[in-house]
Structure 1
């Protein structure tokens, strides 16, 4: 019974980790921060 609990917790943690990595990878490609300067140039201030 204890082994089943550990397997379930570790498996659930791995699934959450994969989902988080996939989400961060997807957002990293979709929200490219290097385009921000091109789209909205930084104003020149003194």
Structure 2
């Protein structure tokens, strides 16, 4: 039973770390402020 808990917790930790690094590198590569510079938000609908 302990091995099952250790495996599930270990898998969740590895999955969380990989998701963190993926989001970290995507947020650096895809700068969200560029969208406003390239295509400004319209003032009137």
TM-score normalised over the length of structure 2: 0.77
Aligned residues: 45
Partner of 2:30: 31
Aligned to 2:7: 8
CA distance in 1, matches of 2:42, 2:2: 60
The higher radius of gyration belongs to 1
| Normalised TM-score (structure 1) | 0.75
Gaps of 5+ in 2: none
Q: CA RMSD in A?
A: 1.6
